[in-house]
């Protein structure tokens, strides 16, 4: 009897192991999109971070000597306010926190906090590694650094509290995670030099699905090889999702179309 019981337990554990392996290798869905509206966007803006809050878009742009923080009118693309970073800084990810905006830089290990209404600089803070994308879930800041990790930071001290490894349906790490946006309990992330947005579980790091934005911005209208998809903003009140790219002349409101369904 003890042997039979042990055999049953081993068989159950083996079945659970195989089930977990099968689940881990299950492909994640790839959704499409439908364009709802098209808006003008500054073709000289090297978009690194994008936020929609209080009725305005806020944008962080990159490249040394051209990096800035901007308040932008959605419908016209007009820059209403602008703060230019010193030439030595390369602007990166951006998020809002209360009445403030928080902006990363690429390799300086330095971030900046601004008043959201005036764009006046308030203070600076330090963090380890590179800064790529930035968002927040209402409790913590979430930072990407170009690796396969999402790093969670305390919004008051900017110290790292935890990090999670981002992996695909086969359990493989996914790196080059760029601009981030928190959307309905998930982290949406641009993957650098691709036309896809990853939908990531902030708890496990597993990719829950992909949004394929191929064809959104015709390559024939872009002249710079770095004019890639980058920039996600979510209007939580209106349920609107906005996307753009570096040096793109357009910004799009899109509707995600589930895999296998027809756009409407």
102-130 pLDDT per residue, tens: 999 999 999 999 999 999 999 999 999 99
Please, which pLDDT band fits residue 17 given cuts at 50, 70 and 90? very low
Q: Between 19 and 96, whose confidence is greater?
A: 96
Please report the pLDDT score of residue 81 as a whole number. 98
* Averaged pLDDT, 33-60: 98
pLDDT > 80? residue 174 = yes
Cβ-Cβ contacts under 8 Å for 196 (sequence gap 6 or more): 30, 210, 211, 212, 213
Please report the pLDDT score of residue 38 as a whole number. 98
User: Average pLDDT, whole number, for the chain?
Assistant: 91
Domain boundaries, the chain: 28-257
- What topology does CATH give the domain 28-257? Neuraminidase (2.120.10)
Q: ∠ at Cα 259 (257, 263), nearest 5°?
A: 35
Please report the pLDDT score of residue 259 as a whole number. 78
Residue 68 pairs in a beta bridge with 61, 84
């Amino acid at each position: 009897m003890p042997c039979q019981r042990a055999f049953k337990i081993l068989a159950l554990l083996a079945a659970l192991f195989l089930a977990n392996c099968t689940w881990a290798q299950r492909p994640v869905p790839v959704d499409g999109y439908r364009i709802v509206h098209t808006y003008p966007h500054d073709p000289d803006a090297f978009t690194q971070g994008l936020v929609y809050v209080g009725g305005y878009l806020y944008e962080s742009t990159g490249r040394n000597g051209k990096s800035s923080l901007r308040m932008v009118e959605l419908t016209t693309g007009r820059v209403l306010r602008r703060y230019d970073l010193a030439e030595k800084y390369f602007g990166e990810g951006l998020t809002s926190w209360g009445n403030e905006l928080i902006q990363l830089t690429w390799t300086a290990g330095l971030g900046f906090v601004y008043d959201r209404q005036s764009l006046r600089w308030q203070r600076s803070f330090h963090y380890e590694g590179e800064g790529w994308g930035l968002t927040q879930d209402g409790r913590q800041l979430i930072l990407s650094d170009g690796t396969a990790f999402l790093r969670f930071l305390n919004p008051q001290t900017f110290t790292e509290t935890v990090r999670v490894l981002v992996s695909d349906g086969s359990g493989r790490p996914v790196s080059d995670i760029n601009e981030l946006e928190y959307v309905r309990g998930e982290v949406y992330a641009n993957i650098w030099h691709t036309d896809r947005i990853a939908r990531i579980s902030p708890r496990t790091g597993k990719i829950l699905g992909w949004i394929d934005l191929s064809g959104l911005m015709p390559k024939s209208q872009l002249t710079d090889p770095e004019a890639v998809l980058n920039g996600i903003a979510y209007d939580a009140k209106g349920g609107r999702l906005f996307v753009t790219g570096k040096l793109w002349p357009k910004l799009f409101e899109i509707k995600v179309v589930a895999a296998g369904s027809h756009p409407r």
